[in-house]
Amino acid sequence: MSQVMACIDASLSAAAVSDYAAWASLRLQAPLTLLHVLDHQQYPQHNDFTGIIGLGNREQLLRELAELDLQRNRLALEQGRLVLQAAKERVARQGVGAPSLRQRHGDLAQTLHELEGEIDLLVIGHRGEAGDSSGRLLGSHLASVIRTLHRPILVCPEHFQAPRNLLLAFDGSPSCRQGVELLAASPLCRGLPVHVLMVGSDSDEARSQLQWAEQQLQGDQPVHLALRAGEVAATLHAYQREQAIDLLVMGAYGHSRLHQFLVGSTTTQLLRASSGPVLILR
């Protein structure tokens, strides 16, 4: 990992996203880019009202509506600029030097897909601006980003706490093994105690897979192995509460029950149930 990008908006999560992005940037010793995307569905660049209103003696109304639309877009862009500036000042106070600021207009997932080559870690909030008033998570936008972006994604809650330990949900699948290797090679969580939890029946194969993960992760941090039966989501969160785990680490795709747990609507269920940050490895 060499480049951290954080999605900044006017939501209640913005401060925590800035803090987690600063934490990641400093841990990785990587440059930080703060990105604000103006949703094209909420703030279209051009509106054509002629099909609804018609022409002729209604041209003045059309001009006024177009002007209102332009003014609304200008105000939204200015708000985004101010939000980015506040985030820049916040991360600078934490020791991040010269973060880059970028502002784009379009769909969030599509924008991140276009910028994927510049991203090694994405930091994004649980909730977006629309989610704050409704009490819902970012939902389809967040799920779309997770499906679209083939980069590690750190999903943040509304309050920052520097991770002191982490729980890795492990299922032994090839993609999950790649995630273990990625985690072992990255300085992001180096030195933090790692708990590796496998949810399933106790077997020689399962224990062998856990031992493989332990060998990959062994370094200057302790590694704790656990094998538990039960429903995946409930077991993961019960273990997280029991061990006071700060950071949950999971793969976005697999070929076991974790696959069913993470893909589609269950992604939102995972994030809703998690009170702390979730690092999704791709």
Q: In terms of DSSP H, where are the helices of the chain?
A: 14-28, 50-53, 59-93, 108-114, 129-134, 140-148, 174-185, 204-217, 232-242, 257-262, 265-273
Q: For residue range 182-192, what is the model confidence (pLDDT) as tens digits?
A: 999 999 999 99
Q: What is the CATH number of domain 166-277?
A: 3.40.50.620
Q: What is the CATH number of domain 4-42+76-156?
A: 3.40.50.620
Return d(Cα 282, Cα 149) in angstroms, integer: 8
Domain ranges of the chain: 4-42+76-156, 166-277
166-277 matches 4-42+76-156 in CATH topology: yes
Q: For residue range 211-231, what is the model confidence (pLDDT) as tens digits?
A: 999 999 988 789 999 999 998
Give the pLDDT of residue 120. 94
Amino acid in the structure at residue 98: A
Per-residue pLDDT of the chain (282 residues; tens, 9 = 90+): 469 999 999 888 899 999 999 999 999 999 999 999 987 555 555 555 555 555 555 777 677 766 777 777 777 778 889 999 999 999 999 999 999 999 998 899 999 999 999 999 999 998 655 554 444 444 557 778 888 899 999 999 989 999 999 999 998 888 889 889 999 999 999 999 999 999 999 999 999 999 999 999 988 789 999 999 998 888 888 999 999 999 999 876 544 555 544 444 445 566 677 778 999 987
